[in-house]
C-alpha cells in the first residue's frame, strides 16, 4: 500500500511459527515435496516492506539461517513443504493437469499484518514439473522480484516478493544460465485452474471442498449469503475486471494470461514475459511466444472476461443454472469500464465526469498511438500543462511526432478543464499521485539483469528502492524516468524462464 509504514516488530526467523493451513484440504490437492539443495546460495536482495509485513527485520537476512530457509536448503521444523495441483487453459486451449512445477509452499505464517503463505519459486523438481527442471533462472527471478514490488507500490493487487537468492548452479535454457529462488508471499496462490482441475474430472465433491475452503479462509463474508458460490464468483469477476483495468491504466501487460495464472484473489500472479508500455501501441505483444497476439495489450480486458467464463464454467455445478452464471459474467464489462473510466479520469486530472469525456479519451489514445508517444512520460508531463498558457504545451508536444495533433487535443482538454474550473496546482498534485514517474521499463530491468549476471547486484537493489516510490520525484534518479534508449524499446521477452 502506498506510503504505508510498517511497525517494526523484531522477530528472529527461527521464532516464526509455520502453519500448514493449505493442508486442511485433502491430500489429493497437493504432494509433499522436499526442495532440492541449492549449492552456495547468496542473498541478492530482500524487500524490507515484505520482511516487515511478515514481522521480520531485513537484518535477519544477513544470517545464513534465512538464506537456508528461503532457498529450501533447510526446512523449518514446523513446515511441511508441498506442491499444489491445478490445471488450466493455456493460450485458449485446455492443457489438462499442470500444478506447481517449480514452486514449493513452505506453509503460512501469521503476523500483525495478516496471514501469508510463503512459497519458494525455483526450488527444484515436484511431481508436477513435467519436462521442466523445477528451477528458475536469475534473469526471470529478478523480473518477478522487482515487478511484484513495483506493482504493489503502484497500488495494483499482486503477490509479493520477500527475497531473491542466487547460486552459481547451472540451469540450462537456450544457453547455460544460473539459478535463483524468489520467495514470494500471498494470502493464497489458489488459481482459477485449481477449480478447473476438479471440474474437468467431474469430481464435484472436491470442487466443493476447494470452494468451501476458499470461502472459509478468504471470503468469509459470503458464508451466510444465499448461494456463497455465486457470491464468490461475482466477487472474483469484479476483482479481476478491476485488476485488469488497473493494468490497462498503467500500461502493464502480463504476457501469459492463462487460467492457471489467474489468482482467485484477483492478484497479479506469475510474472513471466510481462512488460510495461513504452511508446503507446494498443496492439503491443510483450510475449515473444504469443504469435497470435492473444495476450496483446488491447486484448487483456476481453481475456480477463474469457478467463472468468472458464471459472464460471468450473463452478457451475455449485452455482446452479447456466443463466445464473451468465448473469454474473455479464457484471464483468461494467465493472471493468467503471474502474478504467475512473482511473483514466484521474490520470487526466479530471474530478467530474461528463458523457463527452469518452471522446476526449478516445482521441487522446488515437494520437498517442499514431505518434507512439511514451505512455508514462505523457501522463506525467501532462500535469505541467497550465490551463491559460499555451507555452506549457511545449514539453508535452515534444513527445509527439505529430505535434499539431497534440495542440488540437489540448484545446479540447483545456475546454474540459474549464468546465470543472480545474485548479492547475491542485490538478498537478493529484495527477502526480496517480501517474507514476518510475515504472519497471524492460530496458532498466535488462541492465540490472546483465550487471547481476556479472555478480553486481547494486542495480537490482537500486531499482527496488526507486520503484518502491514510483510517484515521488526522486530527482537524483531522473535518468530512470527517461525515454528508453533505441536498443531498449519494444524488447520482447521469451517464456523460457
End-to-end CA distance of the chain: 28
Give me the catalytic one of 260, 270, 278, 290: 260
Cβ nearer to ligand AMP, comparing 86 with 229: 86
- The b-or-e profile of 113-129 (16+ CB within 10 A means b, else e) is eeebbbbbbbbbbbebb
- The beta strand positions in 290-393, using DSSP E, are none
Report what 101 binds from Mg ion, ligand AMP, none; CB cut-off 5-8 Å by kind.
ligand AMP
Size of the site for Mg ion (CB under 5 A): 2
Q: Which stretch binds ligand AMP (CB under 6 A): 33-41, 256-264, 332-340, 425-433?
A: 256-264
CA trace torsion 210, 216, 217, 219 (10° rounding):
100
Per-residue contact flags (x/-) with ligand AMP for residues 46 to 85, judged by CB under 6 A: ----------------------------------------
Asked if 48 is part of the footprint of Mg ion (rule: CB under 5 A), the reply reads no
Q: Is 270 in the site for Mg ion (CB under 5 A)?
A: yes
- In angstroms, the CA 296 to CA 455 distance is 34
Tell whether residue 272 is a contact of ligand AMP (CB under 6 A): yes
Of 261, 268, 299, 305, the one binding Mg ion by CB under 5 A: 261
In the complex, what is the shortest distance from the CB of residue 256 to ligand AMP, in angstroms, rounded to a whole number? 5
Nearer of residues 108 and 177 to ligand AMP, judged by Cβ: 177
Contact by Cβ (8 Å): 365, 282:
yes
- Cα–Cα distance between 141 and 271 in angstroms, integer? 9
Q: Give the separation between CA 89 and CA 245, rounded to whole angstroms.
A: 22
Contacting residue, 68, 101, 357, 472, with ligand AMP by CB under 6 A: 101
**How does DSSP assign 198-237, residue by residue?**
HHHTT-HHHHHHHHHHHHHHH-GGGTTSSSHHHHHHHHHH
| Least gap, CB of 260 to ligand AMP (angstroms) | 6
Report, in Å, the least distance between residue 269 CB and ligand AMP.
Answer: 9
Stretch of 133-141, 415-423, 447-455, 472-480 contacting ligand AMP, by CB under 6 A: 133-141
Nearest-approach distance from CB 120 to Mg ion, in angstroms: 15
Which candidate, 262, 238, 249, 376, places its Cα nearest to that of 314?
262
Q: Which of 19, 21, 31, 129 binds ligand AMP (CB under 6 A)?
A: 129
| Min dist. Cβ of residue 188 to ligand AMP (A) | 16
Choose the one of Mg ion, ligand AMP, none that binds residue 338, judging by a C-beta under 5 to 8 angstroms depending on kind: none
d(CA 260, CA 95): 10
132 touches ligand AMP by CB under 6 A: yes
Nearer residue to ligand AMP within complex by CB, 134 or 470: 134
Report the C-alpha gap between 354 and 75 in whole angstroms. Answer: 58
Single out the residue of 35, 41, 81, 134 in contact with ligand AMP (rule: CB under 6 A).
Answer: 134
If the CB atoms of residues 272 and 304 are measured against ligand AMP, the closer one turns out to be 272
Q: Say if CB 138 and CB 204 are below 8 A apart.
A: no
What nine digits make up the cell of 421?
A: 474550473
What minimum distance in Å lies between the beta carbon of 191 and Mg ion?
8
Backbone angles phi, psi at 335, to 5 degrees: -65, -45
SS3 call for 158: strand
Cβ proximity to Mg ion: between 171 and 262 the closer is: 262
Do residues 76 and 53 touch, judged by C-beta distance below 8 A? no
Q: Is 260 among the residues known to form the active site?
A: yes
Which among ligand AMP, Mg ion, none contacts residue 380 (Cβ within 5 to 8 A by kind)? none
Residues near 105 by Cβ (< 8 Å), separated by ≥ 6? 22, 30, 81, 82, 83, 84, 117, 118, 119, 189
x/- mask, Mg ion, residues 312-351, rule CB under 5 A, reads: ----------------------------------------
| Among 46, 82, 85, 98, contact with ligand AMP (rule: CB under 6 A) | 98
Which span (231-239, 255-263, 391-399, 482-490) binds ligand AMP, by CB under 6 A? 255-263
| C-alpha separations of 391 from 93, 396, 422, 489 in Å | 53, 10, 18, 29
C-alpha to C-alpha distance for 90 and 19, rounded to whole angstroms: 32
Would you give the DSSP letter of residue 80? -
Shortest distance, position 73 Cβ to Mg ion, whole Å: 24
Q: Which residues bind Mg ion (CB under 5 A)?
A: 261, 270
Q: Which residues are catalytic?
A: 260
Q: Which residues bind ligand AMP (CB under 6 A)?
A: 98-102, 128-129, 132-135, 256, 260-261, 270, 272
Amino acid at each position: 500500500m502506498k506510503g504505508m509504514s510498517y511497525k517494526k516488530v523484531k522477530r528472529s526467523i527461527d521464532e516464526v511459527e509455520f502453519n500448514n493451513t493449505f493442508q486442511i484440504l485433502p491430500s489429493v490437492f497437493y504432494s509433499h515435496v522436499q526442495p532440492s539443495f541449492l549449492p552456495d546460495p547468496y542473498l541478492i536482495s530482500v524487500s524490507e516492506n515484505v520482511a516487515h509485513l511478515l514481522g521480520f527485520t531485513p537484518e535477519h537476512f544477513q544470517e545464513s539461517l534465512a538464506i537456508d530457509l528461503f532457498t529450501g536448503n533447510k526446512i523449518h521444523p514446523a513446515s511441511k513443504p508441498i506442491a499444489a495441483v491445478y490445471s488450466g487453459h493455456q493460450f485458449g486451449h485446455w492443457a489438462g493437469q499442470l500444478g506447481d512445477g517449480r514452486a514449493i509452499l513452505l506453509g503460512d505464517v501469521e503476523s500483525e499484518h495478516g496471514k501469508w503463505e510463503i512459497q519458494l519459486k525455483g526450488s527444484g523438481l515436484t511431481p508436477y514439473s513435467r519436462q521442466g527442471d523445477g528451477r528458475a533462472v536469475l534473469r526471470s527471478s529478478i523480473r518477478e522480484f522487482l515487478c511484484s514490488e513495483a506493482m504493489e507500490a503502484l497500488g495494483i493487487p499482486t503477490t509479493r516478493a520477500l527475497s531473491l537468492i542466487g547460486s552459481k548452479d547451472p540451469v540450462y535454457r537456450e544457453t547455460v544460465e544460473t539459478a535463483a529462488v524468489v520467495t514470494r508471499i500471498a494470502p493464497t496462490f489458489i488459481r482459477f485452474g485449481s477449480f478447473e482441475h476438479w471440474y474437468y474430472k467431474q469430481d464435484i465433491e472436491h470442487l466443493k471442498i476447494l470452494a468451501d475452503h476458499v470461502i472459509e479462509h478468504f471470503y468469509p463474508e459470503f458464508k451466510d449469503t444465499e448461494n456463497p458460490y455465486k457470491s464468490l464468483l461475482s466477487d472474483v469477476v469484479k476483482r479481476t475486471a478491476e485488476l485488469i483495468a488497473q493494468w490497462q491504466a498503467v500500461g502493464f501487460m502480463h504476457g501469459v494470461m492463462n487460467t492457471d495464472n489467474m489468482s482467485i484473489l484477483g492478484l497479479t500472479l506469475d510474472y513471466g514475459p510481462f512488460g510495461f508500455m513504452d511508446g503507446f501501441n494498443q496492439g503491443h505483444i510483450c510475449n515473444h511466444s504469443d504469435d497470435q497476439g492473444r495476450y496483446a495489450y488491447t486484448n487483456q480486458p476481453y481475456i480477463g472476461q474469457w478467463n472468468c467464463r472458464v471459472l464460471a464454467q468450473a463452478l457451475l455445478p455449485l452455482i446452479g443454472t447456466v443463466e445464473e452464471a451468465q448473469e454474473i459474467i455479464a457484471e464483468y464489462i461494467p465493472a471493468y469500464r467503471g474502474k478504467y473510466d475512473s482511473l483514466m479520469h484521474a490520470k487526466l486530472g479530471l474530478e467530474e465526469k461528463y458523457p463527452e469525456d469518452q471522446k476526449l479519451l478516445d482521441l487522446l489514445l488515437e494520437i498517442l498511438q499514431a505518434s507512439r508517444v511514451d505512455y508514462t512520460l505523457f501522463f506525467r508531463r501532462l500535469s505541467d500543462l497550465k490551463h491559460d498558457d499555451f507555452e506549457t504545451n511545449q514539453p508535452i508536444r515534444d513527445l509527439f511526432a505529430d505535434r499539431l495533433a497534440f495542440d488540437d487535443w489540448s484545446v479540447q482538454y483545456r475546454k474540459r478543464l474549464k468546465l470543472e474550473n480545474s485548479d492547475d496546482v491542485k490538478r498537478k498534485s493529484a495527477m502526480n499521485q496517480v501517474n507514476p514517474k518510475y515504472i519497471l521499463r524492460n530496458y532498466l530491468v535488462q541492465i540490472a539483469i546483465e550487471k547481476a549476471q556479472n555478480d553486481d547486484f547494486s542495480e537490482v537493489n537500486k531499482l527496488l528502492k526507486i520503484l518502491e516510490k514510483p510517484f515521488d520525484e526522486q530527482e537524483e534518479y531522473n535518468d530512470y524516468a527517461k525515454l528508453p534508449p533505441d536498443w531498449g524499446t519494444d524488447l520482447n521477452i521469451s517464456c523460457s524462464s
